[in-house]
Amino acid sequence: MFLSVNWLKEYVELPKDLTMEKLAYDLTMRTVEVEQIIDFSAKFHDICVGEITEVKDHPDADKLRVCQVNIGEDEDIQIVCGGSNLAVGMKVIVSKIGSEVVWHGEGEPVKIKKTKMRGVESYGMICASEEVFLKDFFPMPDEDSIVDLSNIDCKAGDSIAQVMGFNDYVLEIDNKSMTNRPDLWGHYGIARELSAIYKTELKPLSASKIDPKLPKFPIEIKDSDACMRYAGLVIENVKNEAAPLWMQSALFRAGQRPINKLVDITNYIMLAVGQPTHAFDRTHVKDGIIVRRAKENEKLLLLDDKELELSSSDLVIADHESSLALAGVKGGKKDSILETTTSVVLEVATFDAQTIRKTSKAYDTRTEASNRYEKAIDTARVDQGLSLGIKLFEQLYPECKLVAFGDNCPKPTVPAVIDVDKNYLNTRLGRKLTYQDILHSMQGLGFTITEQGDSYHCIAPIWRSTGDVSLPADILEEVARLYGYENFEKMPLTGVISKAVKQPKVMLERRIREFLAFRCGFTEVFTYPWINDQFIKASGLDAKKAVRLATPPSPELANLRFSLVPGLLEAVQKNRRYFDSFKIFETAQVYEKGEMHPSCQEETLPLQRQFIAGCIVGKDAEQIFFDLKGVLESMSRYCHMQEFSLEQVTSTEPNSAKPSWADNKVYLNIVQNNEVIGSMALLSAVTMKEADIKHCAVAMFELNRDKLIPFASRDNTFKHLPLFPLVEQDLSLLVNEDVSWQTIKKLIGKKVNELEFIEEYRGKQVPKGKKSIVLRVRFGSDEGTLTSKQISKKMDTIIKILSKMTGAELRD
């Protein structure tokens, strides 16, 4: 949000010696974060009003004119210009030598220099509106037209910053810092804070009362939970014309584009007091206003020509014929202000924050109005909006008439009441503040504080009672920030440091993350807990198993993750745009239907389990599969936990589970204590296609981290190097296709010092249903070098075991 300091000064008197830096610091320390201070006049430096005193044709260019221009100095200056509407006596915008303009409104600013144009010297530039950032104020009929300031109260030599009201500083506020402060989304709310900070008087908003004898304008609210108040004022004898320059300037400095007088009045009210308003063309509103839920599949064409198909959860403003606007979000095309508009219905209303937030997200339509309604506005703000609206209409349309008024308020905002224990404040503030100290601070913010024995009875102002202030902690924050965080004495922390409690599961998680990141080169990612429907489908998972959000960020993000795979698929898809190969992993909670950890009698949480998943992306599918397999085989050793095995659990096993996202053949289950706790695999072609992952291969794993068993201690034993040389032998075996490396490792792994897989082959030379594998074994003795006889005996033993248990045959 952008705040005009001049606009703030209309509501509060600031200290005369206050610098902009000090103002920004005080606001940041006590109220909202100021991101930057903008000198709004800076980009108009050396740009002024000029009056053309002479126009001649250029001697060597048909489209150029040589002008003499009075810029308020002793002598006129000569400027060569191609404007099509130049005339003697015309007041124009002149950029003097040294100023900066945007050439034809495009690209970076360029500095004006003395130059020759077709042999004629030029000492400045007569500007079009887009060249000096004023296109919204002075729209031109064609690209050759020059801004004509003749109808504006100014004289030659006046700075454009002064003429346009741009001699101002603008504060850019971080919106996130006031998300829970709906009272701050207008200049008057910030002025109230400054009044409390500097102990100066807050000027009251000028009140314009509505004649109680006005005819009643019918307003019907069918859902009081979604619309707590709605006021409509019918105004006649208005015109659709440009707003006065002072109003356009104020809107522009606050980041809003001026449009026309009727629309600008509504935007000015919103930026002044934080109350969104809307103006309907009266001729399109039949027999009053109805605030209702939309009919299922009801259609509404918005102002920006976007047609919506509404749902029954959406709130609309309607008449007795059809819907007119998407409540609190955007107006409809049907009732929009036209050039022929002569009467309007001014809407000033209070809508439910959750309803507006849900609707604006559902249709991806965020507006300045919805941003404010989403923060929860109080019903009393309607009075401020109406009062200011009447004042502006009467000021800008002296001939206008207020002809009807309706105000329906089924649920007025009630002031929040909080009792705060004195000891609660003193212990948490770290010092004792007197009742007068607290009263002095809080009264400026509109709070009513009374002392009642050992506690304070606090009544929050109506503008802070929509959820912002509801707990003793909120009162504590108000007292502390107004007192000034920097005014509290720095004190060293004191306390007893107790012996740390060992948490094996937490330590195991850290070891796994460090192993994957530091040893294996993976990058950790953090995905959202809600998952996109596209990637649930791509994973082959059943969305019905997911816990659904009541108010999702958007319709396709309604499911909480019950597997980490969909989130990783989305991460792979996005990162593939920038990298050909990479490794990523995530360790996080998944959510399953069920109940655990009751947080209160009325509410329980879904089942939450800890999972870990990761993947390797590259071109060579075989390479990345075995790379990932090696990572998992090393994990138990490096992370100091019980070992698991990698094997394909057959369909006859009770825990059989080929992952739905896995290739039909290239996958392995992660098994521990005869239980499948995870899987690793190449992604199937279907999953790759559905996830829109192209031109690469992906090997992925997912396992239940809760099932991993950390060792109780880390007592390592020393194993000396072999005292005598090891014997290295290669074995070429013919085995059945279903015999896995894991099976062979289990059978002979403990019979040798080292066992290594070399290669696997299937082809014409290998019988159908068989495969050829090559193993390398190393073995020896601590008692001496093995003889040929001992070596042969050892090899015979190995071959006999494999032959008996797997049917392996030794190849020639």
pLDDT of the residue at 155: 93
Helix (H) or strand (E) holding 267: helix 261-273
- Which bin fits 690, alpha (ψ -120 to 50), beta or left (φ > 0)? alpha
Residue with tokens 């008996």: 804
CATH 3.30.70.1520 assigned to domain 2-40+168-198? The reply is no
Domains of the chain, by residue range, sit at: 2-40+168-198, 43-164, 219-408, 417-486, 504-707, 727-810
pLDDT of the residue at 156: 93
For the cut 70, the answer to whether the pLDDT of residue 706 exceeds it is: yes
Give CATH for domain 727-810. 3.30.70.380
CA quadruple 491, 496, 498, 503: dihedral sign: negative
Q: What is the pLDDT of residues 127-151, one digit of tens each?
A: 999 999 998 898 887 778 899 999 8
**Mean of the per-residue pLDDT values of the chain:** 91
pLDDT of the residue at 716: 60
The rounded distance, in Å, linking the Cα atoms of 205 and 191 is 11
Taking 3-state DSSP, the helix, strand and coil percentages for the chain, each rounded to the nearest 5, stand at 30, 30, 40
The rounded distance, in Å, linking the Cα atoms of 331 and 323 is 10
pLDDT of the residue at 654: 44
Give CATH for domain 43-164. 2.40.50.140
CA quadruple 195, 197, 454, 466: dihedral sign: positive
pLDDT of the residue at 350: 97
The rounded distance, in Å, linking the Cα atoms of 727 and 778 is 5
pLDDT of the residue at 655: 43
For the cut 80, the answer to whether the pLDDT of residue 31 exceeds it is: yes
pLDDT band at 556 (very low <50, low <70, confident <90, very high): confident
| Domain 504-707 CATH (choose: 3.30.930.10, 1.10.10.60, 3.40.50.150, 3.40.50.300) | 3.30.930.10
DSSP code string of 39-78:
ETTGGGTTEEEEEEEEEEEETTEEEEEEEEEE-SSSS-EE
Higher pLDDT, 744 or 566: 566
For the cut 90, the answer to whether the pLDDT of residue 121 exceeds it is: yes
For the cut 80, the answer to whether the pLDDT of residue 585 exceeds it is: yes
The rounded distance, in Å, linking the Cα atoms of 430 and 637 is 50
DSSP code string of 373-416:
HTT---TTHHHHHHHHHHHHHHHH-TT-EEEEEEEE-SS-----
Count of CB atoms situated within 10 Å of the CB of 408 = 18
pLDDT of the residue at 517: 96
Token pair of 592, please? 């399953």
Give CATH for domain 417-486. 3.30.56.10
Mean pLDDT of 609-634: 95
- Which of 476-490, 531-545, 708-722, 733-747 is the least confident region? 708-722
Percent of the chain with pLDDT over 90: 67
pLDDT of the residue at 440: 84
pLDDT of the residue at 165: 94
DSSP code string of 431-466:
SPPPHHHHHHHHHTTT-EEEEETTEEEEE--GGGTT
pLDDT of the residue at 704: 95
pLDDT of the residue at 714: 58
The rounded distance, in Å, linking the Cα atoms of 377 and 370 is 11
Residue from 291, 376, 374 nearest 325 by CA:
291
Inter-residue long-range contacts of 761-767, CB under 8 Å, 24+ positions, other chains counted: 762/737, 766/734, 767/734
HSE, side-chain direction, 13 A CA sphere, residue 264:
25
Residue with tokens 């009003």: 49
The rounded distance, in Å, linking the Cα atoms of 327 and 333 is 14
**Are 166 and 44 a contacting pair, CB within 8 Å?**
yes
Q: What is the pLDDT of residues 379-410, one digit of tens each?
A: 999 999 999 999 999 999 999 999 999 999 99
Helix axes 472-483, 435-443, angle to 10 degrees: 90
Entry pTM? 0.71
Same fold, 43-164 and 504-707: no
For the cut 90, the answer to whether the pLDDT of residue 521 exceeds it is: yes
The rounded distance, in Å, linking the Cα atoms of 239 and 234 is 14
Q: What is the pLDDT of residues 413-455, one digit of tens each?
A: 999 999 999 999 988 988 888 899 888 888 889 999 999 999 9
Helix axes 788-806, 741-748, angle to 10 degrees: 130
pLDDT of the residue at 715: 55
Give CATH for domain 219-408. 3.50.40.10
pLDDT band at 650 (very low <50, low <70, confident <90, very high): low
For the cut 70, the answer to whether the pLDDT of residue 591 exceeds it is: yes
Higher pLDDT, 461 or 495: 461
